[in-house]
Structure 1
Amino acid sequence: LSLQVSNGPGLGDERTTSLLLLGFLQSCPNSCFQRELEALGHEFSGHLFHDDELQTDGNRSSYFSVAAETDSERQEEAVREVARQLAQIGDRLEGSIRPGMVASLASRFSVRSLSEEDRRQCLADALEQLMRTCPADVDHEKTQLLLTMLLAKKIADHSPALLRDVFRTTVTFINQNLLASVRNLVRSEMD
């Protein structure tokens, strides 16, 4: 697993990755974390998925044109469609993740003293193990992205109370290591 460091995600990237993961998790039926996911979705819908910014005087910024809003809506729908597609593929790969791996990750994520960096490393280590079992002819970046989101789902299914922590760590991990893949998938969907 080669971890790539980008120039850093921008605000739009954070929003896109969060929306992708949220959409992915929402597309996974019969999960044990639905109540927690609904709360997380409501929390984000108020501030993460809107482009208008609150100014210091309390008014909303209105510098976005109608064309920019339409573009943003189109991109948001593309992100949601990519999330649905990945969730469908994830249904087929879900069995490749051993319950012992999930229990171990959930246990590590439960340790409050574990740093965010250590959590990302736990995720990276698990992802590296899973990638070793993938056929050589698969698209590695897309598979890494899918397996990363699938690990987040499995950890949250195992321990629903960890959803927020797992979500935050996964978004950061994706932005640091797989952002190009996210951008390519969304761009392809929009074309």
Structure 2
Amino acid sequence: MDPQVSNGSVLPNEHITNILVFSFFKNCSNCNFRVELEVLGDELPVPAYLKEECDDELQTDGNRSSHLRLGRPEIRLEADSGSQEEVIQIIAEHLAQIGDEIESKVHPSLVQNLAMQFMNMNLSEAERSECLGTALEQAMQTCLMDMELEKKKLMLILLLAKKVANHKPSLLRDIFRTTVNFINQNLFTYLRNLARNEMD
């Protein structure tokens, strides 16, 4: 992962997907893994302002400052962040809003089973990715939504990851890594096109 991304440059695949998954998790409601997400944010080369927002989520003084709000003009970015990062965050926030609305459609047993598979330390990363893909196929059958196929897959894979992390916060790092890898292998072309369309 290359944290050195200059303004206006094309971001590496993994950096884009890290920002997407991290931003999705950060923008989801009803999360039990805020502390784990803050620790993960310190380890990832995600923009500093995303980490600050994560810290803000943990404050209890009522002074949470939000740097990013979908469709609102008060989006603030640090000088070294590119517009591509901003677009990926907006996409992630939009997907998180949809996820919050439909997460009850994902059957709890599906999430519990996926979490149990991720707790098996003998599974390789490829096997974990396969488990995630199988869970996605099952979720696709039960979560009926009027949206294009690739967007539905992207939203559901993120939602499954969030629900596994919510079920077992200690799995956050593992489910994050597998989700990033799964998106890069299966959905990255769609994500890149989605970002390009938003930037046009």
**Superposition TM-score tier, normalisation by shorter sequence:** 0.7 to 0.9
Q: 5+ unaligned residues in a row in structure 1: which ranges?
A: 1-9, 51-68
1:177 is aligned to 2:186: yes
Query: SS where residue 114 of structure 1 aligns?
Result: coil
C-alpha distance after superposition, 1:16-53 (max 9, x if no partner): 01100000000012200000001111211xx4559xxx
1:40 is aligned to 2:30: no
Larger Rg: 1
1:124 is aligned to 2:133: yes
Task: Name the counterpart of 1:95.
Answer: 104
111 and 91 in structure 1: CA distance in 2 versus 1, 3 angstrom threshold: same
Task: Name the counterpart of 1:141.
Answer: 150
Task: Name the counterpart of 1:56.
Answer: none
How many pairs align? Answer: 162
Task: Name the counterpart of 1:154.
Answer: 163
Q: 5+ unaligned residues in a row in structure 2: which ranges?
A: 1-9, 49-77
Distance in 2 (alpha carbons) for counterparts of 1:136 and 1:179: 21
The AA in structure 1 aligned to 2:85 is E
Tell which has more relative contact order, 1 or 2 (C-alpha 8 A, sep 6+): 1
Query: SS where residue 36 of structure 1 aligns?
Result: helix
The AA in structure 1 aligned to 2:17 is T
The share of aligned pairs that are identical, in percent, is: 50
Q: 1:133: how far off?
A: 3.1
* TM-score of the superposed pair, with normalisation by structure 2: 0.75
C-alpha distance after superposition, 1:119-147 (max 9, x if no partner): 11111101111112354853000000000
Contact 1:90–1:150, Cα closer than 8 Å, also in 2 = yes
1:74 is aligned to 2:86: no
Distance in 1 (alpha carbons) for counterparts of 2:172 and 2:123: 16
Contact 1:102–1:151, Cα closer than 8 Å, also in 2 = yes
Q: 1:190: how far off?
A: 1.3
Q: 1:189: how far off?
A: 1.7
158 and 187 in structure 1: CA distance in 2 versus 1, 3 angstrom threshold: same
Distance in 1 (alpha carbons) for counterparts of 2:20 and 2:93: 9
Task: Name the counterpart of 1:28.
Answer: 28
Task: Name the counterpart of 1:53.
Answer: none
CA-based RMSD? 2.2
Q: 1:91: how far off?
A: 1.1
Q: 1:185: how far off?
A: 1.7
Task: Name the counterpart of 2:66.
Answer: none
1:167 is aligned to 2:176: yes
